[in-house]
Amino acid sequence: MKILLAKPRGFCAGVDRAIDTVKLALEVYGKPLYVKHAIVHNEKVVKDLEDQGVIFIEAVTEIPKRANVVFSAHGSPPADYLIAKSRELNLIDATCPLVTKVHLEAKRFAKEGYRIILVGHKGHIELVGTRGEAPDSTIIVESEKDIESLNFSQAEKIVVLTQTTLSVDDTKGLLDSIKKKYPQVILPPSSDICYATTNRQRAARPLAEASDLVLVVGSAASSNTNRLVDVAKDKGTTTYRINGPEDIQKKWFKNVKVVGVTSGASAPEDLVQKVIDYLRQMGATKVEELEVMEERVWFDLPPEIKAAAQKTGAGHKFIDKHTISADSKMSA
């Protein structure tokens, strides 16, 4: 049996930045360190950080006054920042820069009098933050039925924004339907879409075509992980989402000569390696990477934690890792 590894896979730049931000904050401030929401949607990552002294909460009001807190990569509504200020919290904002970009667009368009159609999964934490920028102007759309129920006039100014963790392919059908109903609509720029979501889906398609079975490593709470499963299944290949090797069932491997492995943007590479080790124990003798594209994307650390670390002399490995020249910062 051969193992075929998708490339790119796993952590995106925003997730990597968020996790390193929490680890650096632990070095600088020590325990306890509060994090609003799961820093990323992966149980192993959360458990590892909890073991190091991180306390995860959902409401900012749960945090003691003047404590240290990191806001997660998914973004937060303005109300949470106001509460943090009123409680005199030392706030480190690990919101993914791509999410921040969409927040700024929501604020700008609302100020200019636009109605905002926000395409994404209702209830997803990212949309809570984005809608919070302009709650009176924003309607969340998840399906064709939602589009049918929209009752804007043809004279209204309308703009569409999207959940960043949806790919271009994920949103195309809905965007086409919105444009057909409201020809005057401004559609979102492609730069609002997370490069990692799109790239991992593009890599999953040839992986599925070349495999008898596909394993997607990642959490059930991860939107992009679940979508990877759908993409692989759409190619007609039997596909399972797994948290790690403990979820693998040997009965899946009857007549399997090639097993494809990929992972969601919030799944750490060490989980993938554990899956590979387990498959070797099951008899896999060869590991190959199927590289669809090269990914070279990095985001700098939040300025507040970077400045604090530099004052104390802590976290050189994190600062060096995320400090690069501007001309090489984004290439996907």
- The DSSP-derived string for 238-255 is EEEEESSGGG--GGGGTT
* 142 counts as catalytic: no
Q: How far apart are CA 165 and CA 83, in angstroms?
A: 27
Torsions phi, psi of 182, nearest 5? -130, 85
Sole residue written with tokens 């636009």: 114
The catalytic position among 105, 126, 133, 295 is 126
What residues contact residue 330 under an 8 Å CB cut-off, 6+ apart?
297, 298
Q: How far apart are CA 7 and CA 325, in angstroms?
A: 24
Convert 46-102 into a string of H (helix), E (strand) and C (coil). Answer: HHHHHHCCEEEECCHHHCCCCCEEEECCCCCCHHHHHHHHHCCCEEEECCCHHHHHH
Angle at which helices 13-29 and 97-111 cross, to 10°: 100
What residues contact residue 161 under an 8 Å CB cut-off, 6+ apart?
102, 105, 106, 109, 116, 117, 118, 119, 130, 188, 192
Sole residue written with tokens 């709470």: 221
Q: How far apart are CA 127 and CA 75, in angstroms?
A: 8
Helix, strand, coil proportions of the chain in percent (round to 5)? Answer: 45, 20, 35
For residue 284 the two structure tokens come to 């896999």
Question: CB of 129 within 8 A of CB of 102?
Answer: no
Question: CB of 186 within 8 A of CB of 159?
Answer: yes
Enclosing H/E stretch for 197: helix 195-209
Q: Catalytic amino acids?
A: 126
